[in-house]
């Protein structure tokens, strides 16, 4: 299996994770943001066109990955879909410029859920389970569901996991955070255009503020 990109911290495969994951070894942690099972929608309830998320119609891919990877996990999800079996739920508060949803309803859907499994591998200073990081909404964002790197860094800092798998890598935020923290990460992404974006992010130097 030839990686699309590889350096001393990150390996990225371009392809369907259902074919690639069975050929990989074990990992300390599964940290991923799978297709949510609710279809990627714009703030106005319409579907993204050029930004459609492969496999976003059902929770099948999410349920498949947690059935084959027997590791602790950190998984992103939506309050609109059924939660997977997990030990804890965190909230990602996405900031005031998100969550348009139903404009007639007086609360905005401006958060996502983060499912944690394998409590024993998580440690560190006790902090709130509401994580506030603004989602990128500007035209320069790299992926329609791009996660803030600082959010992933905060999550990774609560675990000693050294080897991390992200089989739904998108623009490569997990790899970027792992590399900045001196961890090892294997990523898989089906769409080549996101592999290219992720590879370009990996080529950037480690940011000193995240070095251990
Ligand atoms: C929710 S996005 C991840 C976004 C990422 N967290 C980021 O910060 O950019 C999920 C990604 O999984 C990819 N994907 C969907 N099905 C896949 C599959 N079977 N194998 C590998 N990647 C897949 C999609 O193309 C999409 O980019």
Q: What is the pLDDT of residues 144-184, one digit of tens each?
A: 999 999 999 999 999 999 999 999 999 999 999 999 999 99
Average pLDDT over all residues of the chain:
89
In the predicted model, is pLDDT for residue 212 greater than 50? no
65-85 pLDDT, tens digit each: 999 999 999 999 999 899 999
Collect all residues with Cβ–Cβ distance below 8 Å to 4 and sequence separation of at least 6. 12, 13, 14, 192, 195, 199
| DSSP characters over 38-67 | S--B-TTSPBPSTTPPTTTTSSHHHHHHHH
Q: Which sequence spans correspond to the domains of the chain?
A: 5-210
pTM over 0.85: yes
Conformational region of residue 32, where left means phi above 0, alpha means psi within -120 to 50, and beta covers everything else = beta
**What CA–CA distance (Å, rounded) separates 47 from 158?**
35
Architecture of domain 5-210: 3-Layer(aba) Sandwich (3.40)
Check pLDDT > 80 for residue 100: no
**For the CA of 168, the nearest atom of ligand 1:** 12
CA of 125 to the centre of ligand 1 (A): 31
Structure tokens, 132: 């506030």
Residue 163 and residue 188 in contact, taking contact as beta carbons nearer than 8 Å: no
* Ligand 1 site residues, Cβ closer than 6 angstroms: 16-18, 33, 35, 53-55, 61, 143, 145-147, 167-168, 170-171, 173, 188-191, 194
């Amino acid at each position: 299996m030839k990686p699309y990109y590889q350096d001393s911290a990150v390996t990225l495969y371009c392809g369907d994770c259902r074919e690639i994951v069975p050929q990989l070894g074990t990992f300390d942690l599964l940290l991923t943001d799978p297709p949510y099972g609710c279809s990627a929608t714009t703030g106005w309830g319409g579907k993204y066109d050029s930004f459609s998320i492969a496999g976003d119609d059902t929770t099948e891919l999410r349920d498949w990955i947690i059935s084959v990877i027997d590791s602790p996990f950190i998984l992103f999800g939506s309050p609109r879909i059924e939660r997977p079996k997990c030990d804890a739920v965190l909230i990602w508060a996405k900031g005031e410029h998100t969550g348009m949803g139903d404009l007639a309803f007086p609360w905005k859907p401006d958060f996502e859920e983060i499912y944690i499994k394998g409590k024993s591998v998580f440690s560190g200073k006790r902090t709130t389970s509401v994580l506030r990081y603004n989602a990128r909404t500007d035209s320069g964002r790299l992926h329609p569901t791009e996660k803030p790197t600082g959010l992933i860094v905060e999550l990774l800092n609560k675990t000693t996991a050294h080897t991390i798998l992200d089989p739904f890598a998108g623009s490569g935020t997990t790899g970027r955070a792992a590399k900045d923290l001196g961890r090892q990460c294997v990523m898989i992404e089906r769409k080549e255009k996101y592999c290219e974006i992720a590879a370009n992010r990996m080529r950037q130097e480690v940011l000193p503020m995240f070095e251990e």
